């Protein structure tokens, strides 16, 4: 037997993958900010202005299902008000208990006095 021959079976060349010979890794999408940070960023654009939850939801999700953001916005607003970083307004006045309010509301940054 010659040196070039061997008893081991020959390996077949690897089949090309479906993604191509060298598929480029997908670029990771930047992780979206948490809702509370998004609310503060939106309100920070004009600190003297108040916005309703639907207005904020439209700014978070300009196209598509912005309704899905309403409940998370409300929960984040309560958390932020309890922390003193946000004010929830009803009929132009700050709510007394952020965990117990109903109806239409607006959100704003605390005013410096």
Residue carrying structure tokens 């904020």: 56
Residue-range definition of the domain harbouring residue 41: 35-108
Residue 90 lies in a domain: yes
Predicted pLDDT of residue 46: 95
Give the pLDDT score at 45. 95
What are the mean pLDDT values of the chain's consecutive 10-residue runs (113 residues total)?
A: 57 56 58 87 95 96 92 96 97 95 96 73
Whether 51 maps to a domain, the answer reads: yes
E runs forming strands in 1-113: 51-52, 87-90, 93-94, 106-108
In a domain, 26, yes or no: no
**DSSP character at residue 4:** T
Number of domains forming the structure of the chain: 1
In this prediction, residue 41 carries a pLDDT of: 96
Residue 19 maps to a domain = no
pLDDT of residue 64: 87
Q: What is the pTM of this model?
A: 0.70
């Amino acid at each position: 037997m010659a040196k070039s021959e061997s008893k081991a079976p020959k390996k077949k060349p690897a089949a090309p993958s479906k993604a191509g010979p060298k598929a480029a890794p997908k670029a990771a999408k930047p992780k979206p900010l948490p809702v509370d940070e998004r609310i503060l960023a939106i309100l920070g654009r004009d600190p003297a202005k108040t916005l309703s939850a639907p207005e904020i939801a439209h700014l978070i999700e300009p196209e598509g299902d912005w309704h899905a953001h309403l409940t998370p916005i409300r929960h984040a607003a309560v958390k932020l008000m309890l922390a003193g970083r946000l004010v929830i307004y009803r009929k132009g006045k700050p709510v007394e208990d952020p965990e117990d309010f109903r109806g239409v509301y607006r959100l704003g940054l605390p005013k410096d006095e």
